[in-house]
Amino acid sequence: MENRPVTYDFVQDVIPTLSRTGCNQGVCHGAAQGKGGFRLSLRGYAPEIDYASITRQLGGRRISREAPERSLFLRKPLLEAAHRGGKVLDKNSDAYRVLLGWIEQGAIGATGKEPTLTKLEVFPNARTMRLKETQRLLVRATLSDGTTHDVTQHALFSSNDIAVATVTPSGVALQQRAGETAVLAKYRDKIAVCRFLMPYPQTIAKASFPKELSPIDGFVNRKLQQLHLSASPTCTDNEYVRRVTIDTIGTLPTAQEVEAFLNDTAPDKRTRLIDTLLARSEFGQVWGLKMGDLFVLRREYMGRKSAMIFQQWLAEQFNANRTWSQVATDILTTKGDLESNRQGFFYVSRAPGKNGSPYWIRGDEATSEIVAQVFLGNRIQCAKCHNHPSEKVTQDDYYHFVALWSQVGGSGENTDGIPEGIATSDQRDIQHPRTGQKMEPRPFDRSSLTFAKDEDRRVKATEWLIQQDDFARNIVNRVWARCFGQGIVEPVDDIRSTNPAKNEPLMRWLCDDMRRHNFDVKYLMKAIMLSQTYQRSALPNPTNRIDTRLFAYYPARRLPAEELADAVAQVTGVMDRFGGMPAGVRAIELPDTEIPSIMLDTFGRPPRVQPSDTERTCNPAMSQALALLNGSEVQSKINSGSCVLTTLLKSGKPDTEILDALFLSAIARRPNSSEAKALLELLKSAPKIELGWQDILWALVNSKEFMFQH
C-alpha cells in the first residue's frame, strides 16, 4: 500500500498545536501586547494575524524556509535560543513534528477555502470509573467536506473538577476520588464533553428513598443511586409552610398562617398553599426585583422613576402569569411611546450610552450582552475582543449578534435624557473592529436570517432566541435556583457546553415540560414545590452529608438582603422607612439599589452594574452577625413602642401564648419543652418583664432558624 505524505494545514494543525503548547495563551504570546515582541491572537481566534506575525514580522526572520529546523520559531521554544517562556517543545514530540513539517512544506497560510469544523466528538462520552483508574480519550473532528479526522494530538484537555478527576495534556483521565465531573476536549472553536462518575464507597438501600411524587424525583434519585447517596426524609409541615412561603413570595408566613396550615388535615393542603401563594401580589414583586437586578435597573443609569416603572411592569407580568416567552418578546421587540410601552425602558440606559444618540439609549454591544446573558444564560463578553475561551462563540459571532440589535434608538421629546419612545432605524451598521468588515445580522448558531431593508431585525431575532434550547435551560435553571438556592447549572447564568448540568436528564425533562406548558413560570414553580425533592428535610444524613450539589437534602442558605430586612420588619411589626419612597414600602419593592440602607448593603444587596446573579451574595459574614447582634436598626425595632411585643404584652395573654406567637412568627414553629422552660425562667430573672421579652425576640432574630431558609 502506498504511504501518502502527511500534509499540515495552518488552521487545522498549526493553530491547535500552538494552543496546546500554550504559546497563544493569555500568559504568553496571546497576551494583549504579546510577549518579547511576538504577539499571537488569544487561543488562535485570528489566524490571519498569527500567520502575519509568524512569517512576516522581523523581516520574516522567524521562519527559515531554506533550513526549517533553524527557524527561530522552533529554536526558541526548544530553548536553543534565549526564550523567557522556557522550554515548551521537544524534538521527539508531535507538536514539533507538526510545526517543522508545516515549515518544510512552505509555511503556507490559510486560503479561506479550507473546510470548516462542523462537529467534535470525544470517546467515550461517559464512563463510570474506579479509584485511580485511567481512561484514554479519543477526539474526532468532522469537517464540512464530510471527512473525519483523529485530532486527539491537537486537542486541549481540561477537567471541571481536578479533585474528582484529572486529565493529562495527551488526553488520559485519572479518577482521583468519588464524585462526578466533566472532562473537556477543545479543538479549534468547538468543545466535546466526557462525564466521569465514581460511586461513593458505601451501600444504600433503594427502600431508603421516600416515595416519589413527581418525575423530578425519579431523575434526582437515579443520580443519587448512581453515586451511592441516599435521600433525606420529608420535611415537617412547619418547615414546609415557611420554606414555600419564602421561596414563593419572599416573606415569612404570619403566625396565623402557620397555625391555619398546621391545623389543616386535608391531604392536598400543600398544593392549595402553593396556589394561594402564587396568587399573591408579592410573587410578582419578588420576580420584579430579581429581573431588576439582571436588567441593571439603577438610578445612575436611567433615573429612579424609569427604574421604578420598568420593575413594576415586570412584577405585573409575573402576577398576570404571562409566559416567559411572552415577556421576552414584549421586552425585546418593543416600539412606540414609553408611556404605553413601559417595557421599552429595557433599552433606556446611559451606561454605556449609544454613540451619537441624544437620548439615554444603551449601546449596541451592551444591549446584546444583556440579551444573551439574561435570556440565554450566555456570557459573551469575552468574545468582544477574542474568541470565547470556553464556548463556541467567536469574535465574528459576537459582532454578527450585535448587528441584530443595532437598530434601536430613541424618539420624540428628550426629557433629561429619557426619550419619549423607542424607535428603530435601518441606518445602523456594525463593523468588525479587527477587519473593518460590515457585519451582517446573524444569531449565534450562524443560521441565515434574511431581512428587508426597513425590517425590524429584533422580531426574527427574538423568534430565533425563544426557539433555542438555552432559552428553556436558562429560565428553568433560574426558577430551580429560586427554589433551591442553587441551579442545576452553576453559576446560574452561565449556560454553556463546557459547564454541563449536574443532572442532564433532569434538565432535559424540565426543559421539555416547560415548552409543553409554554414557559409558564408559575406552573414550573408549583411542579418543583410539589416534588419530594423540594420537600426533603434540610438535615443531611450520614450517607449523603458529603453531597452539596445533587439535592439529596434541601440546601439551607441565608435569606437574601431584602427578604431578611422584610422578615425583621414583619416579626417586630416595625416597617422600614426608605428615603424617597412612600411609607409601608417593603425592601423587595425597591426599584433602585442606590436607595440608602446599611442593612441591605451589609447583607449583600447587588449594586446592579452587571446583568448577573453573581453580584448578589448570600454568604455569611462577620459584619452581618454584628449588624443583627448590635446593629441599631434591629435594636431600635425591638425597643420601639410600635414593636409587636407592646401589643402582645397589653393583650393579657399568658406568657406561654406570647412565646408561641413569637416563635410561630419568627421560625414557623412553637418552642419545644426545653426551650419554653429555659425562656420562661429567663423572664423571671429579668430586671423588667419587657426587657426579658425583648431579649427573647432579639435571640429569635439572631437565630440560624430565622436567618436561613431551610
**pLDDT digit string, tens, across residues 600-634:** 999 999 999 999 988 998 887 888 888 888 878 88
Strands 179-187 and 190-198: antiparallel
DSSP character string of 256-318: HHHHHHHH---TTHHHHHHHHHHTSHHHHHHHHHHHHHHTT--HHHH-HHHHHHHHHHHHHHH
Quick one: cell of 589? 419593592
pLDDT recorded at residue 701: 94
Is 295 domain-assigned? yes
Q: How confident is the model at residue 390 (pLDDT cuts 50, 70, 90)?
A: low
Is 597 domain-assigned? no
pLDDT recorded at residue 245: 98
Say yes or no to pLDDT of 112 above 80: no
Closest to 502 (Cα-Cα) out of 550, 436, 566, 467: 550
Closest to 538 (Cα-Cα) out of 244, 248, 211, 239: 239
Report the pLDDT averaged over residues 110-132: 90
Domain boundary among 79, 104, 129: 104
For helices 673-685 and 655-667, the axis angle rounded to 10 degrees is 120
Q: Are residues 252 and 170 in the same domain?
A: no
pLDDT recorded at residue 287: 98
Q: Are residues 297 and 415 in the same domain?
A: yes
Is 452 domain-assigned? yes
pLDDT recorded at residue 673: 95
**pLDDT digit string, tens, across residues 580-593:** 888 889 999 998 88
Is 221 domain-assigned? no
Q: Are residues 169 and 50 in the same domain?
A: no
Is 151 domain-assigned? yes
Is 495 domain-assigned? yes
**pLDDT digit string, tens, across residues 214-230:** 999 999 999 999 999 99
In sequence order, the 6+-apart residues with CB closer than 8 A to the CB of 341 are: 334, 335, 421, 422
Residues paired with 165 in a beta bridge: 175
Domain boundary among 75, 104, 133: 104
Work out the mean pLDDT of the chain and round it to a whole number: 92
Say yes or no to pLDDT of 427 above 70: no
Work out the angle at residue 201's Cα, subtended by the Cα atoms of residues 200 and 202, and round it to the nearest 5 degrees: 95
Phi, psi torsion values for 234, nearest 5 degrees: -70, 145
Strands 138-143 and 408-411: unpaired
Phi, psi torsion values for 223, nearest 5 degrees: -65, -40
Share of the chain above pLDDT 90, in %: 70
- Dihedral sign for Cα atoms in the order 99, 102, 104, 109: negative
Which residue in this structure is represented by grid cell 468588525?
A: 432
Which residue in this structure is represented by grid cell 449594586?
A: 607
| Amino acid type, 145 | D
Q: Are residues 303 and 415 in the same domain?
A: yes
**pLDDT, greater one: 57 or 528:** 528
pLDDT recorded at residue 426: 65
Share of the chain above pLDDT 70, in %: 98
Q: Are residues 536 and 419 in the same domain?
A: no
pLDDT recorded at residue 120: 94
HSE-CB of 159 using CA atoms within 13 angstroms: 22
The answer to whether 197 and 220 have CB atoms below 8 angstroms apart is no
The answer to whether 593 and 298 have CB atoms below 8 angstroms apart is yes
Q: Are residues 294 and 277 in the same domain?
A: no
Say yes or no to pLDDT of 209 above 60: yes
Is 263 domain-assigned? yes
**pLDDT digit string, tens, across residues 133-153:** 999 999 999 999 999 999 999
pTM (2 d.p.): 0.91
Q: Are residues 366 and 458 in the same domain?
A: yes
What is the domain range of residue 50?
10-104
Q: Are residues 255 and 128 in the same domain?
A: no
Q: Are residues 450 and 508 in the same domain?
A: no
pLDDT recorded at residue 360: 95
**pLDDT digit string, tens, across residues 236-280:** 999 999 999 999 999 999 999 999 999 999 999 999 999 999 999
**pLDDT digit string, tens, across residues 328-340:** 999 999 999 999 9
Domain boundary among 104, 126, 142: 104
Say yes or no to pLDDT of 3 above 80: no
Say yes or no to pLDDT of 388 above 80: no
* Centroid of chain to Cα 357: 32
* Centroid of chain to Cα 188: 25
Q: Are residues 151 and 37 in the same domain?
A: no
pLDDT recorded at residue 389: 67
Work out the angle at residue 298's Cα, subtended by the Cα atoms of residues 297 and 299, and round it to the nearest 5 degrees: 135
Is 686 domain-assigned? no
HSE-CB of 450 using CA atoms within 13 angstroms: 1
Q: Are residues 300 and 313 in the same domain?
A: yes
Cα–Cα distances (Å) from 436 to 431, 432, 439, 691, in that order, read 5, 5, 9, 73
Closest to 613 (Cα-Cα) out of 413, 427, 374: 374
- The number of domains in the chain is 4
**pLDDT digit string, tens, across residues 647-702:** 999 998 999 999 999 999 999 999 999 999 999 998 988 899 999 999 999 999 99
pLDDT recorded at residue 1: 40
Q: Are residues 535 and 502 in the same domain?
A: yes
- d(C-alpha 511, C-alpha 653), whole Å: 52
The answer to whether 588 and 294 have CB atoms below 8 angstroms apart is no
